[in-house]
């Protein structure tokens, strides 16, 4: 497995593989890899000759009062996970390699960034689009893999790739959960044991909403209220949002159609967790 730190080294190595006719799969990450990332890596390995993983805690997607400094990092563990999984190259740049002095270009998206997480994280998706567009230009993959847990991010990246003519297939991969239903996330490591226990309410509220929707319940406002009430049974849960939106537009819906996303963000202390499900239930593409 090769580890690169500069854009130049990375591009050179990838060009060699592409010259030899190899297809490139790409898994962009911020590190502190868990089974969710592992499943993206496995998908990439199954469908491409070469798999590249980037590990970069991207400063431009964190707000001023967010967790950039304390975001968990463990390159040694990430590196062994990648090695064992069969990754061919890790791109692990320092912030200066991605944003050298004088850097002043941004990639932004309209429409899709205002709802859901965009309400409390107004600059977040501009940071995500900027770094992902840069990474796409550096790695130049055939396919790139993103988790459905970040449903808004996945929708935005698909739209950005289409709008900016990136010739890359964006593959969404299913949410990987702990045994008790909590969606895997690097941020779960911040939770105290009590917060961790109460955080299982998020998946329970989603499963409950899904089962109501399946049994023919059509009152969207009622469903949302019920989810809020369920989550609020946990005293440590502080709801940022619970929304029922159209999966494609991310706009709130008034009645059920056949492409619904139920998404939520809830704080436990300083830790903000997100989760979602779709109705009808889809395992995303993979």
> Is the Cβ of residue 116 or residue 128 nearer to ligand PAF in the bound state?
128
| Residue tagged 């739209």 (tokens) | 159
Which of 258, 249, 248 is closest to 218 using CA atoms? Answer: 258
Q: Is 141 in the site for ligand PAF (CB under 6 A)?
A: no
Cα dihedral value 243, 249, 255, 259, nearest 10: -100
Cite the beta strand spans of 8-133 per DSSP E: 24-29, 50-55, 89-91
Q: Closest approach of Cβ 29 to ligand PAF, in Å?
A: 5
Binders of ligand PAF: how many residues, by CB under 6 A?
Answer: 10
3-state secondary structure at position 205:
helix
Residue 125 to residue 108: CA distance in whole angstroms: 7
Q: Is 172 in the site for ligand PAF (CB under 6 A)?
A: no
User: DSSP E strands: which ranges in the chain?
Assistant: 2-4, 24-29, 50-55, 89-91, 143-147, 169-173, 237-246, 260-268, 271-279
Rounded Cα–Cα distance for residues 162 and 133 (Å): 12
What would you report as the CA-atom Rg of the chain, rounded to the nearest whole angstrom? 19
What is the per-residue binding string for ligand PAF in 3-42, x denoting contact by CB under 6 A? Answer: -------------------------xxx------------
58 is a site residue for ligand PAF (CB under 6 A): yes
Q: What are phi and psi of 85, to 5 degrees?
A: -75, -20
Q: Within 13 Å and on the Cβ side, how many CA atoms surround 6?
A: 3
Shortest separation between residue 131's beta carbon and ligand PAF, angstroms: 5
Q: Smaller CB distance to ligand PAF: residue 29 or 44?
A: 29
Site string for ligand PAF, 112-131 (x = CB under 6 A): ----------------x--x
Report how far residue 192's alpha carbon sits from residue 194's, in angstroms, rounded to the nearest whole number.
Answer: 5
Q: Residue from 43, 150, 243, 275 that binds ligand PAF (CB under 6 A)?
A: 150
Active site residues: 37
H runs (alpha helix) in 86-237: 95-98, 117-120, 124-139, 151-163, 193-198, 201-214, 220-231
Binding residues for ligand PAF (CB under 6 A): 28-30, 58, 61, 128, 131-132, 150, 153
């Amino acid at each position: 497995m090769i580890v690169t730190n500069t854009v130049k080294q990375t591009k050179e190595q990838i060009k060699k593989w592409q010259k030899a006719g190899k297809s490139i799969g790409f898994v962009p990450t911020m590190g502190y890899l868990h089974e969710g990332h592992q499943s993206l890596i496995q998908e990439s390995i199954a469908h491409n000759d070469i798999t590249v993983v980037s590990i970069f805690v991207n400063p431009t997607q964190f707000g001023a009062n967010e967790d950039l400094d304390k975001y968990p990092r463990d390159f040694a563990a990430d590196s062994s996970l990648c090695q064992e999984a069969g990754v061919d190259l890790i791109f692990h740049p320092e912030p200066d390699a991605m944003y050298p002095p004088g850097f002043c270009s941004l990639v932004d998206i309209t429409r899709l960034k205002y709802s859901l997480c965009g309400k409390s994280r107004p600059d977040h998706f501009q940071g995500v689009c900027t770094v992902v567009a840069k990474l796409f230009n550096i790695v130049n993959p055939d396919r790139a893999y993103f988790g459905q847990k970040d449903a808004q991010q996945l929708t935005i990246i698909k739209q950005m790739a289409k709008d900016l003519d990136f010739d890359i297939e964006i593959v969404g991969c299913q949410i990987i959960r702990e045994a008790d239903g909590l969606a895997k996330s690097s941020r779960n490591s911040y939770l105290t044991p009590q917060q961790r226990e109460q955080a299982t309410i998020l998946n329970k509220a989603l499963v409950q909403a899904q089962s109501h929707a399946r049994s023919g319940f059509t009152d969207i406002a009622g469903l949302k209220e019920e989810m809020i009430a369920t989550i609020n049974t946990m005293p440590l849960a502080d709801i940022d949002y619970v929304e029922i939106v159209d999966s494609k537009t991310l706009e709130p819906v008034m009645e059920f159609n056949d492409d619904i996303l139920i998404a939520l963000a809830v704080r436990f202390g300083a830790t903000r967790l997100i989760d979602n499900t779709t109705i009808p239930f889809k395992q995303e593409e993979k």
